[in-house]
Amino acid sequence: MNRSNSFVLPALAALLGVVALPAHRAESQPLPAPRSGPTYADLADLADSAPLVARLQVRKLVAIDPARAAGVRPGRARFYVEARTEALLAGQAVLGEAQRYLVDLPLDAKGKPPKLKKTSVLVFARQVAGRPGELQLIRPEAQLVWDAAVDARVRTILAELLAPGAPPRVLRVREAIHVAGNLAGEGETQLFLATSDEEPAAITVTRTPGQPPRWGVSFSEVLAQSGDVPPRETLTWYRLACFLPARLSTAANVSGSGADRAAAAADYRFVLDQLGPCERTAS
């Protein structure tokens, strides 16, 4: 994920412009509505985009002069952070003991940030070339307060991402074909997916008279079997629920007849309903 270089730490001389955040800043801008903790999709979005994931302990937090903090969302402010490395959860980086980076944090009604000094946090970041000990978050807000539950969920997602045969990113539905069976209401739809690694991937929906439709997904050359349904909040579920388009495109639906094309579209909607919504709290 490419981000503007303006979010990389400025030279030390420029940091002399760091100032205490004035309280009136929060009063002039609406605060975002309270949000619950991060969802599976929130965490997967971060973990899937970050070259490194680390647990750090915040040692110093200083507000950046708003004039030097471009692009900060309303109700937030940018901060310079100095932190101590506690653990590297993922990545090939060699981290020293001390890290520094910029992060955007929410402000309370008094214009104050969360009290994070001596607090452990998870950061999703990359190292800055030629600047040892300096990190750039993959997003201005890609820092989470550490707790055991979040840590465990992130580690599970990282293990899924690094596992052999992990499902790749789904880009679109490349082709959809429905073939009707010999009996009324009988048929099968194949949804062939385009993926980031260009390897085969397909969803199969099977309909049998008198029975509910069944479906499955395969990220290999082996055709999906009915019943291979990914459990919710797994990497396979995330790849589908969070990235399949909301409707099957006409161009992708290459079924032979109008009735077959309608059946393919209906089967696609069935799969989306089965997957359920991809819930995110982060924007």
Range name among 7-11, 96-100, 267-271 with the lowest pLDDT average: 7-11
- Give Cα 184 distance to the centre of its chain: 42
pLDDT in tens, 44-62: 999 999 999 999 999 999 9
The whole-number average pLDDT for the span 121-125 is 98
Average pLDDT over residues 119-133: 96
- Provide the token pair at 12: 């030390």
Burial of 165 per CB tally in 10 Å (0-12, 13-18, 19+): exposed
Alpha-carbon gap, residue 215 to 205, rounded angstroms? 4
- Backbone dihedral angles phi then psi of residue 205, each to the nearest 5 degrees: -120, 125
pLDDT digits (tens, 9 = 90+) for 225-261: 666 789 999 999 999 999 999 999 999 999 999 999 9
> What distance lies between CA 69 and its chain's CA centroid?
25
Band the pLDDT of 111: cuts 50, 70, 90: confident
Asked if pLDDT for residue 23 goes beyond 80, the answer is no
Whole-prediction pTM: 0.84
Number of residues written out for the chain? 283
Q: Which pair of tokens denotes residue 38? A: 């991060």
